[in-house]
A and B are shown apart, each in its own frame.
Chain A
């Protein structure tokens, strides 16, 4: 069975602060994919990143960066210089051999002006 844990239910920061969202996963699959999705107040799920289990290189995309550590089964997401528009619920997800996405419970990020 697969499991994704996002222990931070809610995080509140002031604009321009950096913030890291934690994600810990469990799977028996040797090949799997990890994802982050953003769900803004409008409700849609927006794809942010996909990472396969063989690629532990960290990734940076603008103000977003991801830290994948297989040794600790973590795939953390950092937003640098946060902005009010970053306010959303962020979901970490895992796709294993069954090709089903297992989502974490989400982290509500609020960025205050």
Chain B
């Protein structure tokens, strides 16, 4: 158990809809990262937050947005969903101030868009 939690575990929705994925980082970790794993693209970095502020952006679509709240949990919002958005979405957290900045991953949210 990495200590990172993600909800829900599974999500089935229809094209055009909007969903919110939630991530709670490990206790004390200030950084949260979001990744998408799909058959086509593999594992791709989407976005990183550090203590509530956006720190880095990767291959994140404009239809997607994220935020990190004062209690450090993060949400990834996916809107106008398309079939190609079906993927496993991982959240990871790390403690950049510590000697080990390893990113520990949550169990993922499996999204299926029908």
Instruction: Tell me whether A47 and B58 are in contact (CB under 8 A).
Output: no
Instruction: State the Cβ distance, B93 to closest chain A Cβ, in Å.
Output: 12
* Interface residues of chain A: helix, strand, loop or mixed (majority): strand
Q: Is B56 a contact of A91 with CB atoms below 8 Å?
A: no
| Count of chain A residues near B, Cβ 8 A | 20
**Inter-chain CB contacts under 8 Å: number:** 53
In the complex with contacts A47-B102, A50-B100, A91-B43, A101-B107 CB distance below 8 A: no
Instruction: Determine which residue in B2, B31, B43, B105 has the highest number of CB atoms from chain A within 10 A of its CB, and name it.
Output: B43
Determine if A100 is an interface residue (Cβ-Cβ < 8 Å): yes
Determine whether A68 belongs to the interface, using a CB cutoff of 8 Å to chain B. Answer: no
- In the complex, identify which listed stretch (A15-23, A37-45, A57-65, A75-83) lies at the interface while the others stay far away: A37-45
The answer to whether A44 touches B45, judged by C-beta atoms less than 8 angstroms apart, is no
Bound Cα distance A33, B96 (Å): 13
Complex Cα distance A103/B45, Å?
9
The one of A37, A45, A102, A106 in contact with B45, judged by C-beta atoms closer than 8 angstroms, is A102
Flag if B102 contacts A35 (CB, 8 Å).
Answer: yes
Partner of A103, one of B2, B42, B102, B106: B42
What are the 3 A-B residue pairs with the smallest beta carbon separation, nearest first? A45-B105, A103-B43, A100-B45
- Interface of B toward A, CB cutoff 8 Å: 2, 31, 33, 35, 42-45, 48, 55-56, 58, 88, 90, 92, 96, 100-108, 110
7 more A-B residue pairs beyond the given contacts A43-B107, A45-B92, with a C-beta to C-beta distance below 8 A: A35-B102, A37-B105, A43-B108, A46-B2, A47-B102, A99-B55, A101-B33
Which residues of A line the B interface, CB within 8 A? 33, 35, 37, 43-47, 50, 91, 93, 95, 98-103, 105-106
What would 12 A/B residue contacts be, using CB atoms closer than 8 Å? A35-B103, A43-B108, A47-B102, A47-B104, A50-B100, A93-B43, A95-B103, A99-B96, A100-B33, A101-B33, A101-B92, A101-B103
